[in-house]
Amino acid sequence: MTCEETLPERWVAAWSSNDPAAFAQLFAPNGVYIDHGSQLHVTRMDNHHRVWRNAVPDFKAVLDPSTPIWWAKNDGVDGKTKTTCVFRSLMNGTFL
């Protein structure tokens, strides 16, 4: 598998760890994380991860086995290929 193909697995592993830097490394430096469930638009991924993990220290994320991972590749405006990945994760933990 390519680095791109392991993104969903790396994303849930990073959410489940206590390492904000590992989570932040999954995003471009100017990336924006949109949490549709919480209606959050976040630009500092490390801070978002740190705050979330402090609020839910036993937080764990896993890929939802009932939902397939969806991929699409399209031509980007700058001549590069744009890849879109959609996956569903199950999140568990106790809010403090």
Which structure tokens are listed for 62?
A: 């896993």
pLDDT classification of 80: cutoffs 50, 70, 90: confident
Judge whether 73 lies within some domain. yes
- Determine the Cα–Cα distance for residues 75 and 79; give it in Å rounded to an integer: 6
Structural domain containing residue 23:
7-92
Number of domains within the chain:
1
Judge whether 1 lies within some domain. no
pTM of the model: 0.80
pLDDT tens digit sequence for 2-12: 688 899 999 99
How confident is the model over 48-57, as a mean pLDDT? 92
Eight-state DSSP code of residue 73: E
Judge whether 85 lies within some domain. yes
Contact 12, 62 (CB under 8 A): yes
Judge whether 37 lies within some domain. yes
3-state secondary structure of 83: strand
Q: Any idea what the CATH number is for the domain that residue 39 is in?
A: 3.10.450.50
pLDDT classification of 1: cutoffs 50, 70, 90: low
Residue 20 has pLDDT above 60, yes or no: yes
Paired residues of 86 in beta bridges: 70
Q: What is the percent of the chain with per-residue pLDDT over 70, rounded to a whole number?
A: 97
- Determine the Cα–Cα distance for residues 78 and 18; give it in Å rounded to an integer: 36
